[in-house]
Structure 1
């Protein structure tokens, strides 16, 4: 069985248990926290994925970092995974959990890339555009890319709206070629 399928099954079981315990928000925040730790510390992620590092050592690391900072429901999955020698799946499980959370809460994730940080009014306008199009609650991620020169790129799912100056210049180059 592939790791993706296993990660999905653990994530599904975790979200079902979190719903039952009425701690879905807490567990989702914990999964984001775990992902942030992995992104900020590549050594941590490497240790968790390394089959040479003993499982009791990984369990101790997880306990020291997370036990007092996360919900007991979240920590229980870490404990189960270390006992079953599947620590390498925690990052994938966190990712799958967040996908299930988004689906459960009818959230549309959108990414807007601009040259400068958005103002509050611009942020609200992008949220309104996506909400009107999807009818869902919107979670907007903002990115900065100076190479756009101007305009913006809005990505929602597989759809992308690119009004950047960079794109217009590239289109012009193609037209003149």
Structure 2
């Protein structure tokens, strides 16, 4: 799908969430769902396989999100999947997330860590990234078991890699 269509879907979803007064909730839920779709091939296939009837794909959405996500999020995802745009859902969610952050004058900071961060660690990280980038940040934490010690933060085009692997590679190159 073209960037213009992805932008259009993201803008429409943002405006619906804004009208319902649930932008933050919808944005967080869509972002989480997008990461799940990217990392789970079976889920991705269930939502995007055009050989499955639309009703079946929408039932998967209802089963997946029902009671766990807001009604607005569930309806928006069901609409996207029903429109045959399930494959683009991660890109749409990312655009919506950027729009929500932009509207609140924040920058999205995607942080990959092998373990969950405590609220205190999240606050310290947020403060450090704000200081490093000069912008308020909206943390999006992704638990990634492939990250070995430390974390990787991406804010806009800036990548801050504080993993053990990177530090060992740097030490190795110095020796």
TM-score, normalised via structure 1 length: 0.69
Distance 1:161 1:61 in 2: 37
Q: How many residues align?
A: 168
Gaps of 5+ in 1: none
Deviates more, 1:15-24 or 1:73-82: 73-82
Aligned to 1:38: 37
Distance 1:29 1:116 in 2: 19
Report the CA distance between 1:129 and its aligned residue: 3.2
1:10-159 → structure 2 map (5 Å cutoff): 10-39=9-38, 41-110=40-109, 126-133=125-132, 134-139=134-139, 141=141, 144-146=147-149, 155-159=154-158
1:156-167 → structure 2 map (5 Å cutoff): 156-160=155-159, 165-167=167-169
Report the CA distance between 1:93 and its aligned residue: 1.8
Give the 3-state SS of the residue equivalent to 2:50 in structure 1. coil
Deviates more, 1:41-50 or 1:75-84: 75-84
**1:28–1:97 CA contact under 8 A, matched in 2:** yes
TM-score, normalised via structure 2 length: 0.70
Report the CA distance between 1:12 and its aligned residue: 0.8
Tell me the alpha carbon deviations over residues 7-42 of structure 1, each in whole angstroms, 9 at most, x when there is no partner: 221111111111111111221132134225425632
Distance 2:85 2:114 in 1: 41
Distance 1:114 1:82 in 2: 30
Give the 3-state SS of the residue equivalent to 2:67 in structure 1. coil
Max radius of gyration: which structure? 1
